[in-house]
């Protein structure tokens, strides 16, 4: 693919060149200046991605050149900042192919998007006492705990669709579609499910599941935290009712996230938080509210982060989501092959299709110790329960080590990971 302009040109093994892409992320050069013999290997993009220079520059430009609060001032800077926020909304709309920018609510992240839904749906005509919400065993705590709170407060039932626990099944660790199908009927009214499991990388066939749920009149909310930076997400093609994700996992800043909602469903939800910016008219007797999305955006948001997410989206689009997906699947395939050659490694199952995550244990070495040894080699992985305690319990472990990939990863990063794991093994005898 040598027609592609540098710095996004390809190499022989992959549609992208992680080494070239790394150059767009100042953290790698800054770290290499301090650690020339062991440059940073960053394998924790599932927790948060590093930031390209363009995202950092967009945030800096806002603070240095037109900083002001939005929607309140008639002066130039305030209008420019307000325009920038609305341009970011349009960028998000285009990224996920939402019908309108009005379908895009800015939140502080995936967690807030899910809390917003769980807190407001029971006060809307969309969910009533006696209905059932279904989640799955693959979920991050952010897609479990808000629904438990809702269940306890509103007498709405909560059920959990299991994963396939049969080690001999080719879907081991994936969502159990037959068991889920049994839950997709009355009184289920909402399915809230991940697009991709952060703890194992299990990819959920959400398009088919949404179609099945809709055949039974069930609404579907997708936790896209682990999907949007790794594959092309089209909310209209998926036909989902709600979709949530975080800016910091798509090469954007912390402090911003997105809740996409179908127009009529957002309109049916009451406000989540109240205060400035979300009202039409306030008197001491009564307040009327803005339509969505402003209805859900009370108070001053993280303006810099919202501006930064547009730069992140432009970065994703310049690299190309199809190429990112192919690159990361190549990395995962290589990692699986290389890791499997290490004695006593157990790779957590992820069903039939795995996104850019490999979770594993190594003999009796605690994942936290592994993480510390790898850190000595300047390799950043995540160790622990990955905010998915129930899923790890289903898989019979309390903690794992997790390598998760991004655009800047190279095959040599995986070689470094494996060498460091072998060193850990030698140390722990
Ligand atoms: C699948 C999934 N859902 C939800 C979250 C929560 O995201 P945030 O902490 O950005 O709100 C994460 C974060 O790791 C995640 O991976």
> Which tens digits make up the pLDDT trace of 308-333?
999 999 999 999 999 999 999 999 99
How many angstroms from the chain centroid is the CA of residue 308? 17
CATH at residue 37: 3.90.1150.10
Sites in the chain below the pLDDT cut of 70: 1-14, 429
**Distance between alpha carbon 35 and the CA centroid of its chain, in Å?**
30
Report the number of distinct structural domains present in the chain: 2
Residue 246 lies in a domain: yes
325 and 313, same structural domain?
no
Whether 219 is in a domain gets the answer yes
Question: Exposed, middle or buried by CB within 10 Å (0-12, 13-18, 19+), for 198?
Answer: buried
Do 307 and 173 sit in the same domain of this protein? yes
Confirm whether 387 is domain-assigned: yes
Residues 311 and 345 in one domain: no
Q: Examine the domain organization and report whether 266 and 229 are in the same domain.
A: yes
- What is the pLDDT at residue 12? 38
Residues 331 and 313 in one domain: no
The burial class, CB within 10 Å (0-12 / 13-18 / 19+), for 297 is: buried
Ligand 1 pocket test: pick from 110, 388, 389 the residue with the most ligand atoms within 8 Å of its Cβ: 110
Distance CA 119, CA 153 (A): 10
Is residue 312 located within the same domain as residue 336?
Answer: no
Q: How far apart are CA 265 and CA 212, in angstroms?
A: 19
**Given 294, 317, 340, which residue is the final one in a domain?**
317
Task: Please identify, among 299, 317, 335, the residue that sits at the C-terminal boundary of a domain.
Answer: 317
pLDDT for 185: 96
Q: Are residues 175 and 78 in the same domain?
A: yes
Regarding whether 268 and 170 lie in a shared domain, the answer is yes
- On whether residue 289 sits in a domain, the answer given is yes
Q: Are 219 and 72 in a shared domain?
A: yes
Cβ neighbours of 192 (radius 10 Å): 25
Question: Is residue 9, in this structure, part of any structural domain at all?
Answer: no
Residue 130 belongs to domain with CATH number: 3.40.640.10
Edge-to-edge strand ranges of the sheet holding 382-384: 345-347, 357-362, 400-404, 382-384
Domain boundary residue among 302, 317, 332? 317
Segments forming the whole domain that contains residue 274: 58-317
Q: How far is the CA of 220 from the centre of ligand 1 (A)?
A: 18
Asked whether residue 7 is domain-assigned, the answer is: no
- Any idea which residues carry the catalytic annotation? 387
How far does CA 351 lie from the centroid of its chain? 19
Q: Does any domain span residue 3?
A: no
CB-based burial label for 36 (10 Å; 0-12, 13-18, 19+): exposed
Are 350 and 201 in contact by the 8 Å Cβ rule? The answer is: yes
Same domain, 252 and 307: yes
Which residue, chain included where needed, has tokens 């009214």? 189
Per-residue pLDDT, 428: 82
Q: What is the pTM of this model?
A: 0.96
Atom of ligand 1 nearest to the CA of 194: 1
Q: Summarize pLDDT for 281-311 with one digit per residue, the tens.
A: 999 999 999 999 999 999 999 999 999 999 9
**Nearest protein CA to atom 7 of ligand 1, as residue:** 110
- Shared-domain flag, residues 139 and 42: no
Report yes or no on 8 lying in a domain. Answer: no
CA 319 – CA 407 distance, rounded (Å) = 9
d(CA 313, CA 316): 5
- Around ligand 1, the residues with Cβ closer than 6 Å are 47, 109-111, 140, 142-143, 194, 198, 223, 225-226, 246
- Co-location of 211 and 250 in the same domain: yes
Residue of 48, 117, 137, 142 with the most ligand 1 atoms within 8 Å of its CB, for mutation: 142
Output the CA angle 304-308-310, nearest 5 degrees.
130
pLDDT at residue 429, rounded to an integer: 66
């Amino acid at each position: 693919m040598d027609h592609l302009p540098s710095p996004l040109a390809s190499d022989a093994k992959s549609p992208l060149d992680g080494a070239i892409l790394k150059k767009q992320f100042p953290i790698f050069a800054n770290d290499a200046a301090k650690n020339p013999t062991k440059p940073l290997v960053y394998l924790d993009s599932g927790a948060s991605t590093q930031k390209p220079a363009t995202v950092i520059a967009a945030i800096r430009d806002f603070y240095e050149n037109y900083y002001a609060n939005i929607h309140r001032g008639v002066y130039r800077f305030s209008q420019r900042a307000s325009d920038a926020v609305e341009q970011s909304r349009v960028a998000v709309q285009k990224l996920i192919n939402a019908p309108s920018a009005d379908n895009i609510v800015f939140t502080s992240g995936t967690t807030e998007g899910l809390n917003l839904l769980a807190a407001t749906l029971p006060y809307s005509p969309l969910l009533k006492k006696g209905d059932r919400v279904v989640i799955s065993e693959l979920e991050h705590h952010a897609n479990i705990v808000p629904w438990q709170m809702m269940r306890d407060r509103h007498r709405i039932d909560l059920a959990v669709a299991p994963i396939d626990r049969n080690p001999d099944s080719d879907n081991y660790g994936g969502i159990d579609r037959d068991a889920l199908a049994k839950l997709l009927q009355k009184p289920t009214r909402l399915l809230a499910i991940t697009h991709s499991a952060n703890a194992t990388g299990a990819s959920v066939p959400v398009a088919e599941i949404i179609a099945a749920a809709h055949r039974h009149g069930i609404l579907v909310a997708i936790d896209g935290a682990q999907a949007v930076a790794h594959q092309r997400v089209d909310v209209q093609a998926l036909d989902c009712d709600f979709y949530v994700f975080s800016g910091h996992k798509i090469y954007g800043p912390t402090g911003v996230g997105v809740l996409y909602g179908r127009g009529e469903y957002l309109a049916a939800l009451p406000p989540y938080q109240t205060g400035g910016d979300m009202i039409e008219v306030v008197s001491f007797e009564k307040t009327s509210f803005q339509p969505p999305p402003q209805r859900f955006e009370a108070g001053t948001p993280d303006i810099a982060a919202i501006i930064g997410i547009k730069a992140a989206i432009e970065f994703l689009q310049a690299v190309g989501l199809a190429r990112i997906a192919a690159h990361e699947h190549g990395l995962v395939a290589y990692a699986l092959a290389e890791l499997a050659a290490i004695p006593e490694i157990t790779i957590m199952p992820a069903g039939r299709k795995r996104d850019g995550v490999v979770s594993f244990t190594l003999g009796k070495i605690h994942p936290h110790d592994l993480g510390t040894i790898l850190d000595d080699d300047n390799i950043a992985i995540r160790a622990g329960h990955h905010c998915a305690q129930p899923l790890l319990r289903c898989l019979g472990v309390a903690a794992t080590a997790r390598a998760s990939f991004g655009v800047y990863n190279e095959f040599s990063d995986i070689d470094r990971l494996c060498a460091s794991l072998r060193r850990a093994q030698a140390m722990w005898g």
